[in-house]
Amino acid sequence: MSETETVLLRHGSCELRGEDVAYIRGFLADFPTLSRTETILTLAEHLGWTTPAGGARSAAATQLLEQLEQTGAIRLPALDSRYQTTVGKKLQPRKAVHVNAGVPIGCSLAELAPVRLRALTAAEEQARFDAYLRTFHPLGYAKPFGCFARYWIEAAGQPLGAILLGGAARALAPRDHFIGWNVHVRRRNLPWVVGNSRFLIFPWVRVPHLASHALAQLARQLPEDWARRWSFRPLLLETFVDPAHYCGSCYLAAGWQPLGHTSGRGLARPGHRYRSTPKLILVKPLAHPWRERLCSASLATGVSLP
């Protein structure tokens, strides 16, 4: 067994190997604006420290990374003082967010214009956004990992829908083949692919072509918004559509490219799989030459991307 394959630390089924340390160091250097929690959850996803359902094993990842930090090999982001509590101090319950259906809207896109996407940063708006997804999206709300963004789709200051973005799928054979990735390049450059995990036009909004219009606007607007928030510009968007319920026509109309379907067999860790249903994979390049950059060994957040 080579030095890089040696297991340095283990927590249950999660293992930290020698080759992982260099990747973790590079990730920490490339993404210094992520919080401690966001860093740990994203690294857990990238290193395969996941549950059978694909979620991050946050406790195991935290212990492994903090143990590695204690050796002096890495330095994790500092704990956010907003989430530290003193002994005996009671945590305040989260304020309930009331969700109500809006006034029905039925008109043409031209009558509705201008439509804009507004990135949400205020905690109150983000809580409202999450509540609306829980209530009206068929899959509910799932907390994003890594770099993320929430958008209202708005017209005249009125929300018409919501878009949630976060980390991309850790490994996806059709996508990785389409890009030209091997496992090492994928692990290094995966953060430059952004996942569209939720897309919703509210059920009381009936405006033809609104969905594709919002998705096209997202592709134009996202790189600059992402650069302001996270200090680098992503190169590719990806999403999944369940063909049992949707055909993905709004994505296709917005220029997204179908790559085939997932296998329906999710890899939790070597030798262990969980069952899912095949999903249609769609991607949208955001900058050119996106493929050459995603396959580059020198891609870094400090590089200026047009």
Do 114 and 247 fall into the same domain?
yes
- 130 assigned to some structural domain: yes
Q: Are strands 14-17 and 193-201 parallel, antiparallel or unpaired?
A: unpaired
Amino acid, single-letter form, for residue 268? A
Q: How far is the C-alpha of 76 from the C-alpha of 62, rounded, in Å?
A: 10
Tens of pLDDT, residue by residue over 122-144, are 999 999 999 999 999 999 998 88
Q: Is the pLDDT of residue 303 over 50?
A: no
What residue numbers bound the domain in which 261 lies?
105-294
How far are the Cα atoms of 30, 41, 169, 185 from residue 190, in angstroms, in the given order?
A: 12, 14, 8, 8
Q: What is the mean pLDDT of residues 68-78?
A: 90
How far are the Cα atoms of 17, 21, 28, 61 from residue 3, in angstroms, in the given order?
A: 9, 12, 22, 22
The tokens describing 84, both together, are 């530290």
Reference 226, options 117, 75, 131; nearest CA is 117
Do 173 and 238 fall into the same domain?
yes
One DSSP character per residue, 289-303 reads THHHHHT-SS--TTS
Tens of pLDDT, residue by residue over 8-61, are 888 877 888 888 898 899 889 888 888 899 899 889 888 888 765 566 788 888
Do 76 and 113 fall into the same domain?
no
Q: Is the pLDDT of residue 158 over 90?
A: yes
Number of domains in the chain: 2
Sequence-ordered list of residues with C-beta below 8 angstroms from that of 262, at least 6 positions apart, any chain: 172, 174, 240, 276, 278, 279, 281
Do 137 and 271 fall into the same domain?
yes
CATH number reported for the structural domain that contains residue 241 in this entry: 3.40.630.30
pLDDT band at 274 (very low <50, low <70, confident <90, very high): very low
- 95 assigned to some structural domain: no
CA 199 from centre of chain: 13
Phi, psi angles (nearest 5°) of residue 294: -65, -25
Do 226 and 180 fall into the same domain?
yes
Q: How far is the C-alpha of 103 from the C-alpha of 210, rounded, in Å?
A: 17
Do 76 and 111 fall into the same domain?
no
- 223 assigned to some structural domain: yes
- 304 assigned to some structural domain: no
**Is the Cβ–Cβ distance between 290 and 177 less than 8 Å?**
no
Do 232 and 270 fall into the same domain?
yes
Instruction: Tell the residue number behind the tokens 């249609």, with chain if given.
Output: 280
- 90 assigned to some structural domain: no
Sequence-ordered list of residues with C-beta below 8 angstroms from that of 55, at least 6 positions apart, any chain: none
Q: Is the pLDDT of residue 162 over 90?
A: yes
Sequence-ordered list of residues with C-beta below 8 angstroms from that of 111, at least 6 positions apart, any chain: none
Tens of pLDDT, residue by residue over 185-203, are 998 899 999 999 999 999 9
Do 12 and 158 fall into the same domain?
no
- 62 assigned to some structural domain: yes
Amino acid, single-letter form, for residue 68? L
pTM for the model: 0.75
Do 63 and 165 fall into the same domain?
no
Sequence-ordered list of residues with C-beta below 8 angstroms from that of 174, at least 6 positions apart, any chain: 259, 260, 261, 262, 281
Do 42 and 151 fall into the same domain?
no
Q: State the DSSP code for 50.
A: B
Do 25 and 173 fall into the same domain?
no
Sequence-ordered list of residues with C-beta below 8 angstroms from that of 136, at least 6 positions apart, any chain: 99, 200, 202, 203
Do 267 and 144 fall into the same domain?
yes
Q: Is the pLDDT of residue 265 over 70?
A: no
Q: State the DSSP code for 56.
A: B
- pLDDT score recorded for residue 117: 98
**Is the Cβ–Cβ distance between 248 and 282 less than 8 Å?**
yes
- 8 assigned to some structural domain: yes
- 94 assigned to some structural domain: no
Orientation angle between helical segments 18-30 and 36-46, nearest 10 degrees = 140
